[in-house]
Each structure stands twice: as structure tokens, then as C-alpha cells.
Amino acid sequence: MKTFSLYRDFFEVLDRKSFPAEKWEPYRSLYYHPHREFLRTYFTHFPLLNAQSLRQRVEAIKISDYSTLRHLVSTCPPEKLIKEAYIKCINIKPPEEEPDVYLFIGFFSPDGFVMNYKKKPIICFGLERFKDFGLLKNLFAHEYAHFLLSQGREEIPEEKRFQWLIISEGVATYLSQQAFPNRKLSDHLLFTNDKLNWCQKNESYIREKYFSGKLTSQELINLYTLGDPNLDIPPRAGRYLGFQAVKRYVNSRPEGGIQELLSDRNKALDMIRPLLSLKRLF
């Protein structure tokens, strides 16, 4: 596994003597230009972003905004935590090809995600929102599962994308739990305790709204991603349903259950999909 610590070059920008009087030129020459292939690929996920809006964001940088992160990476290097998490994960399911991992500052990035880059999936962590690395190992395990599920796979058909979203999130949560069994379930789901408690109490309600047959695939994806205050459903509540379905499937197959799902996306879709709509999964 190769780890690319792009964030260090971003800190070089902050350390320039001309900063903060001059921001765009050091950002462009020390950070954007050396990593332009990666950053261009990343920024394509933000269709409203252009050169002008990026420059405006750079001009808004404050050194103080990154003081906590700089202290954090100096006292608790993320590279070390990711390497330790990777060892745990490959003991469960080794990859066909080792992942590349990118640690960067992207301004708009989610904490962790998998992105196609140079025709293969890579694991990425946008560090700008981290206040601590307490869940970084769990987050790596989660994204490692998505990486495995993305390797050399065809696109999911439109009509199955919502179901695959729920299933893949369930698989990722289950792998995190297997890699770090001493952590709380809320840590593996990347939920607060209150959100987990709500999902446990309202499992039937979540399932009713998700599988009513009244919403299109895209509407369901939006409901999963954003939640709906009018329905009193929080964002990503469906991850809990996916985890419960995967757990039930794996418990019914003591040998090779999670490895099967991580190796064969079609099998994951075919085997887990019927379990999603059951009234209770435990």
C-alpha cells in the first residue's frame, strides 16, 4: 500500500513568508501544480467549482483554521494509523491489488471516500474537517471495503443503485466491526449514539419509507444522503438497515460470508437485497 501525503505540501503553502499577503501563487505553485492530476480529478466531482471560485476559496484561507490539524498530524500521524488499520483489514480480506491512499486538503471533501483515478479506485481522506483521529481506523476499514467492492467492477445499473448503496454501506460497516471488534457499533456505523438509538427504535419506520415503492431510485438516494426533516428521517439512516441485512446473511454462512460479499458484487446484490425489506432482521 502506498500513501501519498499531499497535505504536507499544503502546509508548505502556509509556511511561505509571503503568506497570507499572497495566497494564490504559493497555493498554485507548491500544492496545486505538483498534484494537479489528482486535484483535477477530485474537483470534477464539484461541477459548480471553477478556477475563479477555487481562487476565492484559496484567498479565504486563514492559517489559524489549520492549527489544530497541524498539531494533530504532528502528534498522531495519520499514515501510522492507516497502516495499522490496513494490516487488520487484509487479515480479513486481502486485495487483488493494493490500494493507493491519498491524504490531502480539498476544502470541500468528505472525511473519507473512494474515487476512480487513472482508471482504478483509490482511497482518499480529506483532512480539513478532522478534529481528532479517534475514528480514522474505522473510517479506513469502511473505505477499504468500498475499495474492494470497486476493483475491476462494472457500473451498477440505474435501477439497482439505491439498493447497492444500502448494501455496500452495510458491507463496509460489517468489515469495520470485524477489523475492530472492541469498538462500539455507533463507531462502525459512523453515527452518534443518539442517531444509532433512533435507528434501532425506528427500524420498521425507516424500512417502510425506504421500501414503500413510491420513490424513484434517485429520490431514494437523496433521502439516504440528505435525510428528510418532514419524515423525521436523518441522513444515512439506511446504513443501519444495510448492516443488519449483511449481519444476518453472514451469520447464516459461518465460512466465507463476508469474504464472498467483498469478492462478488453481484452475489452481494442478489443475496442481500431480499433481506433489506424484511420487517426485522434480528
Beta strands in the chain (DSSP E): 2-5, 100-104, 112-117, 120-126
User: Residues 211-219: contacts with CB within 8 Å, 24+ apart?
Assistant: 211/276, 211/277, 217/158, 217/159, 217/160, 217/161, 217/162
Amino acid at 215: L
279 touches 207 (CB < 8 A): yes
> What does the chain come to in residues?
282
The rounded distance, in Å, linking the Cα atoms of 262 and 96 is 11
Q: Please, which residues bridge with residue 32 across strands? A: none
The rounded distance, in Å, linking the Cα atoms of 53 and 26 is 17
- Burial classification of residue 273, based on how many CB atoms lie within 10 Å of its CB (0-12 exposed, 13-18 middle, 19 or more buried): middle
The rounded distance, in Å, linking the Cα atoms of 226 and 224 is 6
The rounded distance, in Å, linking the Cα atoms of 33 and 250 is 46
Residue 282 is predicted with a pLDDT of 36
Where are the chain's structural domains?
2-150, 158-276
Beta strands in 109-254 (DSSP E): 112-117, 120-126
Amino acid at 219: E
pLDDT tens digits in sequence order for the chain, 282 residues long = 999 999 999 999 999 988 888 899 999 999 999 999 999 999 998 877 888 999 999 999 999 999 999 999 999 999 999 999 999 999 999 999 999 999 999 987 778 999 999 999 999 999 999 999 999 999 999 999 999 999 867 778 888 888 899 999 999 999 999 999 999 999 999 999 999 999 999 999 998 888 888 888 889 999 999 999 988 999 999 999 999 999 988 888 767 778 888 988 887 787 777 766 655 433
3-state helix, strand, coil in the chain (%, to 5): 60, 10, 30
